[in-house]
Structure 1
C-alpha cells in the first residue's frame, strides 16, 4: 500500500485501512460476510456458486526500488521498527511476499507439485480433526518440503513417493528441526546476526521464513503432536509401501544450518590390488586394460542379477578408475562405486612395521625420472591411510565426520541450482575431502590430544586453520621420515612448495593441500561466515563470549617433528 511509508505506518494505520476496505467490499454484489482478525480481514465471496475465502493483508512495501537485491539494512530496519512499536515476531512477514514468491519460483516444477501434495495431505488432516487450517503452518510444511528436496535429492525428476516419505519422516522428527536459509539475509550485519542467533537458540522446531528472519513459522502451537501422529500413520500406509517400497531421502532433520545434510544414497571406493601389476610403471601403463575388463565382467554380471549397472564414461583415453552405479530393480536404492586397480607396493603389512623406505624410494625415483601427478599412486598406500585414521579416538572420528559434513554442505551450496544460470567459476574445484580429514587430525593432535574434548572447540579450530590456508605446512613422519637421504631431500622440497602444503601421511608425493591447485579461498570464505554460527555461542551467563580455537601452529618444520635437520633454505 502506498499509504504506508514504513513498518511503523503499517502497524499504526493498518486497522483503519482494513475498516475502509471492509466497508467498500460490503457493497460488492459477490460479498457475503467478513470478519476482522487483528492484522487481516477475512472476506467470504460467492463466485459462480462457490465459496471463496480471501485474506486481505494491507502491507508496507520495503522492497520498492530494490527488486531482488534486498539489502541487509531492510532487515536491520525491520528489527528496530519491531522493537519500537512492540510488534510480534513475523508480524511484518507479509511485507516480503514478493521475496517469498521468488524463493519458490527457483525450484523445479516437480518440487512445487510435491508441495501441493503435502499441503493437500495437511488439509485432509485438518478436516479429520475438524479444525481450520493454519496459513502459517501450511507455509512451514511448504518450506520443509523444499528443505527435504534440497538436502536429500536435488534431482529435477524424482520419485514423488520418496519425497512424501521424506517430508513425513521430518515431521516425525519435529522436536529436532532447525531449518533456515541465507538467500535473503545472513550473519554479516550484527543486528540481523543477533536476531538469527536468538531464533536458532529457541525451542524446536525452528523453521525460519527465508524472507523474514523474525518469523519462525515452525513454532509449536500444539499442532505438531497431532501432525506427527498423522505422519506416523501415513508412513505405514499401503499407498506409500506398495511394491517396490519407496525409501526416504537421507536428510538430517536436526541440522543447524541450511545446506546441512549429506547426499542421499551411498558411495564406496574399492581399491583392487592386482597381482599382474608388478611395479608403479605397470600400474600406470596397464590399469586402463583392467578397468575395461572389470566393466566387461560387470556387464555380464547384471544380466544374471536383479541389479542394474550404470557406467560413468570417462573422458580419458586411458581411464584410471571405473565409476559406476549399482541399482536394485526391486528396492529403488543405489550405491555409487569407484574401482581403482593398484599395484600392491607394500605387500602384506606386518604389525608394528610402519616405515616403508624401499617402496617410497622406488616411488620418488620414478617421480624424478618421469614425473607424474600429485598422489597418482596414493591408492597403492590405501592400507596405510586406513591405519592412520582407524586407531584415532572415537570422538576425534566423530569430529572428522562433522567436518566432512560441513565440507559437503559448502560444496552443495556452491553447486548451481537447477534452472538457474551457472556461475562463471574457474574450472578447478574445492580441495579434496581427504585434506579436511587430515587437517582435523592435525588440529586435534596439536591443540588437544585428549580423548574427551570439546567438539565446538575442535570444529572452531579446523575452521580457523581453513581460514589460514595460505600459511599451512603440515606433514607427519609415521610412515616416512628424514632419516634416508633420498627421502629427506624429497620431503624438504615438498614442504618448501607454495602453501597450503598438507602431505598425505601415507604417500609423500601426495600434497592434498595443493598450493594454487584448489579453490581454498572459497572454503575459507565459508569458514569465516561460520564463525558467527550459534554452535560457537557459550551458554547464557557468558554474554558476548564465543568458543575459541585451540592454539595450533600453522607451520611444521623438520625440527618440530624431532628431526635434527637445519636446511639452508627457509621453510
Structure 2
C-alpha cells in the first residue's frame, strides 16, 4: 500500500497533500510577512513599524471582541508562544515542534553528534556509579535527603519567622497566604529547596489593578526586608516582573532556601464552588496575556501542592533522586544553546507520581527499579500521555479541546486543564539521550524488572 506523502508548512505546521497546495497556502497566509520575535507572530511588512509600538499605545478593540465562542482561534494563538516550540539556540518560535527541529538542524547545524556534545555532562562521583541498591540508598541519605531532627525543626522555625516578616513588610494588607514549592511538598533536596509564597489581598480590584500595583509593592517589600534582622542573610536575585526572588540562609545548617514571593487578589477564596473553579478555567483558557494567566493560576497553587503531598514518602524519595539526576547529568548551557529549557521540577514530580501509579501505588519499593522505570519512560518521551481527573471531568469542554490539540509528551496539570506541563521544555530529545546513556551506567547493570515493575519490560 502506498504511503500518502505529507507536505508541512514550516511557518505554521499545517499539513497539505501536495506541494502545489502548500505553495498556495504560503502565498495566501505567509507571503510578505515578517516573523516578529517580541510576540512570536507574523506581521505584514507595511505594518511592522506600527506593530513595534508599545502594547499600551495600540487599539484594544481586538481584546474586547474576544469571547467564549472563538476558542479555536485563541487556542492556536496561545500554542505558538509555548516554550516547547521555541528554538533552543535563537529563541525563535514555530507553529510545531517538527518545524522548530527542522530549523535547528538547517540553521544551527544541530546534528545528532552536536546534540550529544551539548547534552551529556555527568558530574564526577555521580549516583549512577553506585553498584547496588544499598549503595544508592547511602548516597541518597548522605547527599540528597534534606536534614532531619533538630536541624530540620530549627529550619522550620526560621522559615515561619521569615514568613511573618514578609507579611508585615508587604505594604498591602493580606487576607490569605498560601505556600508552595519543593520544601512545602516534601520533595526538596540538600542543594535545592524552593519555597513559593502567594500573598492574597482584597485590596486588588482585579488582575489589571494588581499588575499596576504589584511592582511598587514588591519593590517596597524588597527594601523593607533588607532592613529587618533577617536582612544580612537574604541575597536578592534578579528583578522579575511579577515576583520577588531571593535566597535565605539558615543560621543552623548554613544552607539556603530559594524564595519566590507573589501577590494577587483572592479570585477563588479558601473554599470555592465548582462553578467558580470552572469559571477560572475558562478565563485561563481564553487568556492570551502570559502575565495575566500566571497571576490567575496562582489561585490553583494549593491544589497542585496537595496533589504532590498526597503521595507516600517513598515516592518523594524517588522524586528527589530524579530531580538530582536532572541537575547532575546534563551539560551546562552555553552561549550557543542558552535558550535550552529542561523539564521543571513540577514536571518531574508529576512524571514520578505517574510511574508510581502504573506500578499500583506500592507503599515500599526499590529505588533502583523506580529510577529505571522513569528513565525508560523518558527514552520514550514521545509516547507520554498523562491525565488526572480530580478537578475536572473528561467531558469538560476545555479539557476536550486541549486534549485534541495536544502534542506529546503530554502531562496535563492535575489542577489546571489548560496547561501541559511538558510544554515548559524544548529539549525532550536531549532528555531521552541522557536517559539512554544513564541506563548503561553501573547502577542498572544486569538489573531486570521485578514486581510491580514488570510493565517496563514492554519499554
TM-score, scaled to structure 2: 0.52
Decide whether the 8 Å contact of 2:347 with 2:421 is kept in 1.
Answer: yes
Structure index of larger Rg: 1
In structure 2, C-alpha distance between the alignment counterparts of 1:532 and 1:368, rounded to whole Å = 45
Once the two structures are TM-superposed, the CA of residue 202 in structure 1 deviates from its matched residue by: 12
Tell me the alpha carbon deviations over residues 138-165 of structure 1, each in whole angstroms, 9 at most, x when there is no partner.
xxxxxxxxxxxx98xxxxxxxxxxxxxx
Secondary structure at the aligned position of 1:445 is classed as helix
Once the two structures are TM-superposed, the CA of residue 369 in structure 1 deviates from its matched residue by: 5.3
In structure 2, C-alpha distance between the alignment counterparts of 1:451 and 1:330, rounded to whole Å = 33
Once the two structures are TM-superposed, the CA of residue 495 in structure 1 deviates from its matched residue by: 5.1
Aligned length: 283
In structure 2, C-alpha distance between the alignment counterparts of 1:459 and 1:365, rounded to whole Å = 38
Secondary structure at the aligned position of 1:272 is classed as strand
**Equivalence for 1:344:** 266
**Equivalence for 2:278:** 360
What does 1:128-207 correspond to in 2, within 5 Å?
Answer: 180=125, 200=131
Once the two structures are TM-superposed, the CA of residue 180 in structure 1 deviates from its matched residue by: 3.7
Q: 2:320 aligns with which of 393, 398, 401?
A: 401
Decide whether the 8 Å contact of 2:285 with 2:398 is kept in 1.
Answer: no
Asked whether 1:391 is paired with 2:310, we answer yes
In structure 1, C-alpha distance between the alignment counterparts of 2:135 and 2:304, rounded to whole Å = 40
Name stretches of at least 5 consecutive residues in structure 1 with no aligned partner.
1-149, 152-178, 188-195, 206-260, 417-421, 538-543, 555-571
Once the two structures are TM-superposed, the CA of residue 289 in structure 1 deviates from its matched residue by: 3.3
Asked whether 1:378 is paired with 2:267, we answer no
What does 1:7-406 correspond to in 2, within 5 Å?
Answer: 180=125, 200=131, 264=191, 266-301=193-228, 304=229, 307-314=232-239, 319-327=241-249, 334-349=256-271, 356-368=274-286, 370-372=288-290, 376=294, 377-406=296-325
In structure 2, C-alpha distance between the alignment counterparts of 1:277 and 1:440, rounded to whole Å = 37
Residues 536/368 of structure 1: CA separation in 2 closer, same or farther (3 Å cut)? same
Q: 1:464 aligns with which of 369, 376, 379?
A: 376
**Equivalence for 1:496:** 405
Q: 1:505 aligns with which of 407, 414, 431?
A: 414
**Equivalence for 1:444:** 356
Tell me the alpha carbon deviations over residues 228-287 of structure 1, each in whole angstroms, 9 at most, x when there is no partner.
xxxxxxxxxxxxxxxxxxxxxxxxxxxxxxxxx966474422222223235555545543
Residues 334/362 of structure 1: CA separation in 2 closer, same or farther (3 Å cut)? closer
TM-score, scaled to structure 1: 0.43
Secondary structure at the aligned position of 1:424 is classed as coil
**Equivalence for 2:387:** 475
Secondary structure at the aligned position of 2:448 is classed as coil
Greater relative CO, 1 or 2 (CA 8 Å, sep 6+) = 2
In structure 2, C-alpha distance between the alignment counterparts of 1:453 and 1:374, rounded to whole Å = 42
**Equivalence for 2:332:** 415
Residues 426/335 of structure 1: CA separation in 2 closer, same or farther (3 Å cut)? closer
Asked whether 1:429 is paired with 2:341, we answer yes
Once the two structures are TM-superposed, the CA of residue 513 in structure 1 deviates from its matched residue by: 0.7
Once the two structures are TM-superposed, the CA of residue 494 in structure 1 deviates from its matched residue by: 4.0
Secondary structure at the aligned position of 1:513 is classed as helix
Name stretches of at least 5 consecutive residues in structure 2 with no aligned partner.
1-121, 137-187
Relative to its length, the structure with more helix (as a share) is 2
Decide whether the 8 Å contact of 1:272 with 1:342 is kept in 2.
Answer: yes
Secondary structure at the aligned position of 1:481 is classed as coil
Decide whether the 8 Å contact of 2:287 with 2:293 is kept in 1.
Answer: no
Once the two structures are TM-superposed, the CA of residue 433 in structure 1 deviates from its matched residue by: 1.3
Secondary structure at the aligned position of 2:290 is classed as coil
**Equivalence for 1:526:** 434
Secondary structure at the aligned position of 1:307 is classed as helix
In structure 2, C-alpha distance between the alignment counterparts of 1:202 and 1:313, rounded to whole Å = 41
Once the two structures are TM-superposed, the CA of residue 476 in structure 1 deviates from its matched residue by: 0.8
Q: CA RMSD in A?
A: 3.9
**Equivalence for 2:65:** none
Decide whether the 8 Å contact of 1:323 with 1:339 is kept in 2.
Answer: yes
Secondary structure at the aligned position of 1:431 is classed as coil
Once the two structures are TM-superposed, the CA of residue 203 in structure 1 deviates from its matched residue by: 11
In structure 2, C-alpha distance between the alignment counterparts of 1:414 and 1:431, rounded to whole Å = 14
In structure 2, C-alpha distance between the alignment counterparts of 1:395 and 1:475, rounded to whole Å = 22
**Equivalence for 2:21:** none
In structure 2, C-alpha distance between the alignment counterparts of 1:385 and 1:202, rounded to whole Å = 31
